[in-house]
């Protein structure tokens, strides 16, 4: 099977991007090459991480486009030019257009810091997720990697792992423990995808040994 060409879209610090860079370096992610990192945010530390690792880093400024459709089209064009097979959303804060999702159907992966379908959907990002987990009083939370469809956090689930909520947890301590799990799950999901181990049956993602 040909090596999968990956693009990561990230808006912020990029620790999940780093987990993919490291995964490819240390052989936990196979059959993959990280070709491009795109950000909507000029100051995203994710762009620095890309450059530090010899990966093309592209800031595409949303302000220079008429609207979200045009902006998404510009990213799509950049991905097509580089023959990207897999798009990884790693803390990417913009909504993908329907055309984008259609163009990369079942080839866009997102990481979310809760056990979907809890504490997810529109507006659930950053600290809010963990704050609401604590306020609700659930005993377990976790991380989810899923395919992206037209909804927000509604696509088929690839991997999930639970994280226990401790009585002494703060938003910060919980976010840190969940993040550690994200850094395990995301490279694992990327590896499974790139080795052709993921098959979809309706909403269910079947993991096959390859």
Active site residues: 112
Q: Which of 13, 82, 94, 131 binds ligand GRF (CB under 6 A)?
A: 13
Segment contacting ligand GRF by CB under 6 A, of 10-18, 31-39, 55-63, 74-82 = 10-18
β-pairing, 198-201 vs 204-207, is antiparallel
Quote the CA–CA distance of 169 and 5 in Å, as a whole number.
39
- If one asks whether residue 163 binds ligand GRF (CB under 6 A), the answer comes out as no
Q: Which of 6, 7, 9, 16 binds ligand GRF (CB under 6 A)?
A: 16
Binding mask 179-208 for ligand GRF (x = CB under 6 A): x--x--------------------------
Closest CA relative to residue 155, chosen from 203, 88, 120, 94: 203
Quote the CA–CA distance of 12 and 188 in Å, as a whole number.
21
Helix intervals (H) in 57-201:
68-81, 98-103, 127-136, 171-194
Quote the CA–CA distance of 37 and 57 in Å, as a whole number.
5
- If one asks whether residue 130 binds ligand GRF (CB under 6 A), the answer comes out as no
- If one asks whether residue 23 binds ligand GRF (CB under 6 A), the answer comes out as no
Min dist CB 39 to ligand GRF, Å, is 10
Closest CA relative to residue 143, chosen from 152, 153, 64, 134: 153
- Nearer of residues 16 and 35 to ligand GRF, judged by Cβ: 16
> For the CA atoms of 121, 48, 50, 116, what is the dihedral angle to 10 degrees?
-10
- Nearer of residues 91 and 198 to ligand GRF, judged by Cβ: 91
- Nearer of residues 51 and 210 to ligand GRF, judged by Cβ: 51
* Binding residues for ligand GRF (CB under 6 A): 10, 12-16, 90-91, 111-113, 179, 182
């Amino acid at each position: 099977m040909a090596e999968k060409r990956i693009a990561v879209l990230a808006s912020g610090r990029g620790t999940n991007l780093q987990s993919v860079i490291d995964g490819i370096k240390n052989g936990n992610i196979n059959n993959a090459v990280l070709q491009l990192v795109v950000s909507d945010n000029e100051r995203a530390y994710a762009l620095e991480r890309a450059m530090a690792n010899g990966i093309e880093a592209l800031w595409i400024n949303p302000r220079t486009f008429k609207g979200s459709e045009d902006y998404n089209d510009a990213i799509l064009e950049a991905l097509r030019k580089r023959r990207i097979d897999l798009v990884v959303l790693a803390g990417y804060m913009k909504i993908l257009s329907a055309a984008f999702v259609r163009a990369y159907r079942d080839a866009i992966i997102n990481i979310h810091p809760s056990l979907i379908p809890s504490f997810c959907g529109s507006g659930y990002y950053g600290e809010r997720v963990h704050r609401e987990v604590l306020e609700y009083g659930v005993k377990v939370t976790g991380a989810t990697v899923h395919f992206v469809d037209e909804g927000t956090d509604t696509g088929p689930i690839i991997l999930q792992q639970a994280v226990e909520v401790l009585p002494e947890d703060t938003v910060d301590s919980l976010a840190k423990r969940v993040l550690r799990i994200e850094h395990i799950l995301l490279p694992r999901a990327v590896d499974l995808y790139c080795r052709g181990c993921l098959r979809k049956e309706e909403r269910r993602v079947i993991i096959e040994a390859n």
